[in-house]
Structure 1
Amino acid sequence: MKLYPINAGNFKLDGGAMFGVVPKSLWQRTNPADSNNMIDIAARCLLIEDGNRLILIDTGMGNKQSDKFFGYYYLWGNDNIDKSLKKYGFHRDDITDVFMTHLHFDHCGGSIQWNKDRTGYEPAFKNAYFWSNDNHWQWATKPNKREKASFLKENIIPMEESGQLKFVGLPEEKILKNSELGFDIFFADGHTEKQMIPLIKYKDKTIAFMADLLPTVGHLPLPFVMGYDTRPLLTLDEKELFLNMAADNNFYLFLEHDAHHEIITVKHTEKGVRLNKKLALKDL
């Protein structure tokens, strides 16, 4: 097995929204804001090369939305999926599976693109299956009013219409062992219904793709919960459970949204689970 970090692009989000009730005087120590109170955010995806399978975890925002839409997110940098794949000798047509941690636009928007004449939409990965789970799919296709702006129909419905959509099974507890993709999955419901956190065995290590359970290093303290989370008290419990498990078992946490830190490890301290080391995937 080989793993590759794939940068689908960088953007900015409001620091207050990213840290909920936590005062700016605290969160700006790790995530400094610009004059508009915006902080740096990445859409760092993960490519897994495993035998004949090439699995891409999440796909970023994509590029099919309007200039007005992207204007809200202050795009920066020159990274995109195609450039990142080419860097490692791959093309999007090589991808066999696209695994989406959840269907918010900044995680799945790159899965669907305009067709050639821009009259409709088509899969951006024509040879891949798109993986979600039944509970989250129902949640996303019949969205509550709070999340409706994050679940964009043009990102979601074309997956089903293409015939390329598949669902992983749901666990009896929090972790699905040895999923159809070959890795375990931790299910978390605080951010959104049945968000999926892949746990990948790699060189005798466990790589956890953290998605929105732990967006950045700055979110390590338990009360540092995003304002976007639909069930913040549940996020507290899920973070505590997961971070203790990560510290106990020396997980390597792959950070999707931290623009400046790719992987971290954590440790137990008197203040709770805190940062241990900062690394890059190539260091493993």
Structure 2
Amino acid sequence: MTIYPIEAGNFKLDGGAMFGVVPKTLWTQTNPADPNNMIDIAARCMLIEDGDRLILIDTGMGDKQSDKFFGYYHLWGDHSLDKSLKSHGFHRDDITDVFMTHLHFDHCGGSIQWNKDRTGYEPAFKNAHFWSNKEHWNWATQPNDREKASFLKENIIPMEQSGKLIFVERKKDESFKNSEDLGFGILFVDGHTDKQMIPHINYKGKKLVFMADLLPTAGHIPLPFVMGYDTRPLLTMPEKKKFLEKAAEEGYYLWLEHDAHNEIITLKNTEKGVRHDKTYTFNEIFN
């Protein structure tokens, strides 16, 4: 198995929305804001090469939305999914599987693109299967009023129409599943959105965890630092507490999808609870 970081593009989000009820004087200590209160956000995806499989975890926003839409998110930097794949010697047509932690537009928008004459949509990875889970799929395709702006039909329905949509299966009483099909473990969490999936990968003797929106940035480690976007913040807190304590105890390496300045972090136990220990680049640890 070989893993590659895939940078699908940087954008900005409102810092207040990203930290909920936490005062700005506290969250700006780790996530400085610009004059418009916006903070730097990454779309750091993961590519897993395993035998004849090439598995991409999350795909970023994509580029099919309108200029008005992207204007809300202040795109910055020169990263793109295609450029990042090319830098590692791959093309999107090489991808065999696209695993989506959840179906919010900033995690799955790059999975679907305009067709050639822009009359409709088609998979952006023509040779890939798309992985979700049935509970989250139902949640996303029948969205609540709180989340409907994040679940865009043009990002989701074409996956089903392609005939290449696969659901990860699990028993209802399981929160964690080892997916023999994909070669990594999955933690299911419900605080941010229903049945978000957090991949756990054993890689080169280390446990590498793709954090998605369970821990969007290093600044979100303190338990009350919960996004305003979370649908069940009082559930996020115990989910995060349980995970962070285990991660600190067992020395997990946490892959931060949305932290533009901290690629991978480790944790430590302190008198104030679990806190940030060290920051690494992927190459510092695994190359």
Q: TM-score of the superposition, structure 1-length normalised?
A: 0.99
Aligned to 1:7: 7
Structure 1 residue runs of 4+, over 4 Å off? none
Give the Cα separation in 2 of the matches to 1:78 and 1:99.
Answer: 24
Alpha-carbon distance, 1:276 to partner: 1.1
Instruction: Give the distance between the partners of 2:59 and 2:2, measured in 1 at CA.
Output: 18
Matched, 1:191 2:192: yes
Is 1:209 matched with 2:200? no
Given that 1:179 and 1:185 are in contact with CA atoms closer than 8 Å, whether structure 2 keeps it comes out as no
**1:169 matches 2:174:** no
In 1, the alpha carbon distance for the partners of 2:167 and 2:278 equals 35
Whole-Å separation in 2 of the counterparts to 1:262 and 1:197: 16
- Does residue 137 (structure 1) correspond to residue 126 (structure 2)? The answer is no
SS in 2 for 1:177: strand
- Aligned partner of 2:284 in structure 1 is 283
- 1:102 corresponding residue in structure 2: 102
Give the match for residue 227 of structure 1.
Answer: 228
Deviations 1:141-180 (A, max 9, x none): 0000000000000000000000010010124322112342
In 2: Cα distance, 1:186 partner to 1:263 partner: 18
**Corresponding residue for residue 249 of structure 2:** 248
Matched, 1:153 2:187: no
Aligned pairs for 1:8-27 (under 5 A) are 8-27=8-27
SS in 1 for 2:122: strand
On the 8 A contact 1:263/1:279 being kept in 2, the answer is yes
| SS of alignment partner, residue 136 of structure 1 | helix
Structure 2 portions without partners, runs of 5+? none
Task: Work out the CA distance in 2 between the residues paired with 1:170 and 1:63.
Answer: 33
The amino acid across from 1:7 in the alignment is E
- Secondary structure (helix, strand or coil) at the match of 1:64 reads coil
**RMSD, matched Cα:** 0.7
Measured against aligned partners, the alpha-carbon deviations of 1:163-222 in whole angstroms (never above 9, x if no partner) come to 010010124322112342110000010000000000001011110000000000000000
Q: Which moved more, 1:238-247 or 1:178-187?
A: 178-187
Number of equivalences: 284
Residues 83-136 of structure 1, C-alpha deviations (whole Å, 9 max, x = no match): 000000000000000000000000000000000000000000000000000000
Secondary structure in structure 1 of the residue aligned to 2:158: helix
